[in-house]
Amino acid sequence: MTDPKSLSPEVPTSPEAPASELPGGATRREFIATATTVTVGSALFLEACHHTPAGPQLPSPSSPPPAELEVSLTVNGQPRTVKVDPRTTLLDALRERMELTGTKKGCDHGQCGACTVLVNGRRELSCLSLALMNQGAEVRTVEGLAQGETLHPMQEAFLTCDALQCGYCTPGQIMSAVGLLSEPCGTSDADVREAMSGNICRCSAYPNIVAAIQQVRRLPQ
């Protein structure tokens, strides 16, 4: 009678492939050591990332402002030197550093003309010009028109012709009108309106403003 054990196939075993060896040739000991190394390395990497700044630090609100620079101007015949932030406009330098508040801030975008001053004899919108751009320039504001108690002819004409209502735009209107006197301009009212089109009067005193300017233009030079 045949022995049943002799019918069971024998499972070959290889001395080069012990039971503890994993596919790929790595032993369990090597696998555990490798896994432990990877886990510890990942933890250290994540810890380092957690403490690494994401980017450059932004300045705190208490950071010092930009350095101020000196600007020297001749304002209404007087030499003036003030320190200003490089971003300061001529308008703000006149009003805040020199306390010449006759020049008004209207739109602050160069669209209304309330900030008009004369720079080297020419009309300029002081809200659009940096103070440092006018280094050494001669600046004339509405405060510099009168001679003592004697008003400038244009100031007198604005009063005579009632060329104002609320008066906020009046300094800019007067300075623009004074600048117009030294510019080529036709003799008609339409020519004056065109030359003064950059100065807005929200009270609509335009007819009287034109009349005041024409009155001064007719004066003997």
> Are residues 137 and 170 located together in one domain of the fold?
no
Task: Average the pLDDT over 149-154 and give the result.
Answer: 97
How many structural domains are present in the chain? 2
Q: Which of 94, 119, 142 is the last residue of a domain?
A: 142
The answer to whether residue 170 sits within a structural domain is yes
pLDDT at 191: 98
pTM beyond cutoff 0.85: no
Give the chain's length. 221
pLDDT at 36: 73
The answer to whether residue 23 sits within a structural domain is no
> Are residues 122 and 160 located together in one domain of the fold?
no
Q: Which of 81, 114, 142 is the last residue of a domain?
A: 142
Angle formed by the axes of helices 206-217 and 153-160, to 10°?
A: 140
Q: Which of 142, 174, 197 is the last residue of a domain?
A: 142
What is the rounded distance in angstroms from the CA atom of residue 2 to the CA atom of residue 4? 6
Q: Is the pLDDT of residue 85 over 90?
A: yes
Q: Is the pLDDT of residue 87 over 60?
A: yes
Q: Is the pLDDT of residue 211 over 80?
A: yes
The answer to whether residue 118 sits within a structural domain is yes
pLDDT at 56: 67
pLDDT at 189: 98
Taking all residues of the chain, what is their mean pLDDT, rounded to a whole number?
87
Q: Is the pLDDT of residue 73 over 90?
A: yes
Task: Average the pLDDT over 198-221 and give the result.
Answer: 96
184 in the Ramachandran plot: left (φ > 0), alpha (ψ -120 to 50) or beta? beta
Parent domain of 197: 153-218
Give the confidence band of 62 by pLDDT, cuts at 50, 70, 90.
confident
What is the rounded distance in angstroms from the CA atom of residue 208 to the CA atom of residue 25? 104
The answer to whether residue 188 sits within a structural domain is yes
Give the tens place of pLDDT for each residue, 29-55. Answer: 776 777 677 676 676 666 666 665 556
pLDDT at 27: 76
> Are residues 112 and 168 located together in one domain of the fold?
no
Give the number of other CB atoms < 10 A from CB of residue 217. 17
Token digits of residue 78: 């007087």
pLDDT at 59: 64
Task: Average the pLDDT over 10-22 and give the result.
Answer: 52
Q: Is the pLDDT of residue 6 over 60?
A: no
Give the confidence band of 149 by pLDDT, cuts at 50, 70, 90.
very high
Phi first, then psi: give them for residue 13, nearest 5 degrees. -120, 145
